[in-house]
């Protein structure tokens, strides 16, 4: 896809969304080091073009499921950085009132059905959402983001089988960053391209340059159109790379330094910004203005989170549900 295929305002918006994700994650890491954010963080740094490219192709009514590395997906869909930070701070004004944290953040108003700490856990949820969209006649798609390791899970294969059989409007987006936690892809599966696994289920399997937001958008846009016209699901493999370790604190010693350097040189934000300037879509001043706006947004978001009250102990069981053995709902 060329920059001439989209309006300058939209291209600049995509740049802004990627930069917002990057700086949100970098600041979150700093806040965690300062002791303000408890628990684990799995930074999305380096993979921003995937979330932004896919979400830019979605219309209203879409349903999304995510992974343990879900902040980027949520921000790309339009979530509030302030409420996200408040959730990471474990404060009452967070998206889940401090009960979700980083690994299980959710915003149903955005159609964001949640990050998920289980590998591949969001894949069947998106498949169910796709079934509901089809049965209800809503012209929208479901999207599931997951990593290369999740494509070894039974839930992945069962979901693709049913989605193909029932021609569900689902985009299965594999963010192949070459590592399943600490294990390189070629040591946990024999296929080089995850996309080939789609052939077992008679659905398209397409590869996108996961460091090129416009290439991701091109592939996702075609998959959305196909789904909305009744053509069924698509497996998208976006080849990308996380710049940091599996989690914040993982030094990533298992990755060769030359490999890391090669991928850092293909930074999706730096290359896209340079392309916008080189092709005279915007000038450097416009990019700098976006950067300032992002910093102001995140400064306000962090201040909002810090000012948000802590939840009270008696609130611990609010909005928590279970089923008794007799089938009666318990609260």
Q: What is the average per-residue pLDDT within 107-135?
A: 96
3-state helix, strand, coil in the chain (%, to 5): 50, 10, 40
Residue closest to 174 by CA, chosen among 166, 189, 23, 162: 189
322 compared with 48, residue with greater pLDDT: 48
Report d(CA 123, CA 157) in Å as an integer: 10
pLDDT, position 316:
86
pTM: 0.94
Q: Between the CA of residue 126 and those of 111, 114, 157, what are the distances in Å?
A: 11, 10, 13
Contact of 295 with 21, CB cutoff 8 Å: no
Domain ranges of the chain: 3-309
Q: Which residues contact 96 (CB under 8 A, 6 or more apart)?
A: 87, 104, 105, 106
Q: What is the average per-residue pLDDT within 138-160?
A: 97
1 compared with 166, residue with greater pLDDT: 166
Report d(CA 242, CA 228) in Å as an integer: 31
Architecture of domain 3-309: 3-Layer(aba) Sandwich (3.40)
Q: Between the CA of residue 161 and those of 67, 107, 137, 189, 291, what are the distances in Å?
A: 21, 28, 21, 19, 43
294-308 pLDDT, tens digit each: 999 999 999 999 999
């Amino acid at each position: 896809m060329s920059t001439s295929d989209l309006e300058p305002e939209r291209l600049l918006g995509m740049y802004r969304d990627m930069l917002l994700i990057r700086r949100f994650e970098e600041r979150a890491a700093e806040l965690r080091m300062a002791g303000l954010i408890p628990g684990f963080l799995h930074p999305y740094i380096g993979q921003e073009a995937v979330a932004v490219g896919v979400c830019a192709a979605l219309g209203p009514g879409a349903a999304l499921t995510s992974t343990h590395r879900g902040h980027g997906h949520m921000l790309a869909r339009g979530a509030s950085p302030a409420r996200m930070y408040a959730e990471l701070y474990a404060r009452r004004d967070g998206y889940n009132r401090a009960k979700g944290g980083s690994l299980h953040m959710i915003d149903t108003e955005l159609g964001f059905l949640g990050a998920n700490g289980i590998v591949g856990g969001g894949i069947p949820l998106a498949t169910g959402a796709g079934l509901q969209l089809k049965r209800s006649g809503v012209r929208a798609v479901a999207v599931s983001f997951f990593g290369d390791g999740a494509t070894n899970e039974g839930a992945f294969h069962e979901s693709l089988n049913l989605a193909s059989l029932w021609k569900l409007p689902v985009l299965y987006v594999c963010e192949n960053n070459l590592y399943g936690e600490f294990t390189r892809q070629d040591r946990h599966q024999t296929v080089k391209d995850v996309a080939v696994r789609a052939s077992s289920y008679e659905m398209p399997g397409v590869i996108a340059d996961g460091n090129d937001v416009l290439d991701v958008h091109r592939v996702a846009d075609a998959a959305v159109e196909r789904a909305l016209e009744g053509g069924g699901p698509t497996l998208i493999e976006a080849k990308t790379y996380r710049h940091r370790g599996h989690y914040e604190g993982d030094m990533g010693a298992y990755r060769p330094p030359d490999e890391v350097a090669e991928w850092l040189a293909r930074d999706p934000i730096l290359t896209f910004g340079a392309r916008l300037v080189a092709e005279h879509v915007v000038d450097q001043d416009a990019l700098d203005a976006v950067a300032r706006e992002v910093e102001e947004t995140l400064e306000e978001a962090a201040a909002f989170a810090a000012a948000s009250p802590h939840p009270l102990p008696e609130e611990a069981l609010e909005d928590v549900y279970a089923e008794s053995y007799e089938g009666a709902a318990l609260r």
